[in-house]
Amino acid sequence: MKKRITALMVLTLAGCTHPPRAPSSPVVALPPAPPARERDVFTGLQTQQLRALAGAPVFTRRDGATEMWRYDTASCRAFFFFTGTPAKVQYVETLPRGPDGGANQDCLNALRARRS
């Protein structure tokens, strides 16, 4: 009987111990925020305004409430994403991308220049 009580006490105490802690990871600082970009002239334009500024797109696609227009220049492609009512440009992307990872300003300038 004594052995059973002792075994029960040992098991009870074993359940009270905490599991071993994993070694803590070193603290890594977050990278700096990307540089603030200038607001481009295309963001906020309605469809008819973009068409007047850049002409007819070479490709369009609608996915749910978002519409995408693609324009090609000799050196790049520009993608304009419209949402809302009335539809307005919410986001601009280019291939190749700009040096900061955003839209390439040279590409957007080339797109505007070909209509001038």
Of 56, 59, 63, 93, nearest to 78 by C-alpha is: 93
Strands 88-95 and 66-72, bridge-based pairing: unpaired
pLDDT at 18 over 70: no
The pTM of this model reads 0.65
Helix (H) or strand (E) holding 105: helix 105-113
Catalogue all structural domains in the chain, each as residue range(s) with its CATH number.
42-116 (3.30.1450)
How many CB atoms lie under 10 A from the CB of residue 42?
Answer: 19
For residue 41, what pLDDT is reported?
Answer: 80
Q: Judge whether residue 39 has pLDDT over 60.
A: no
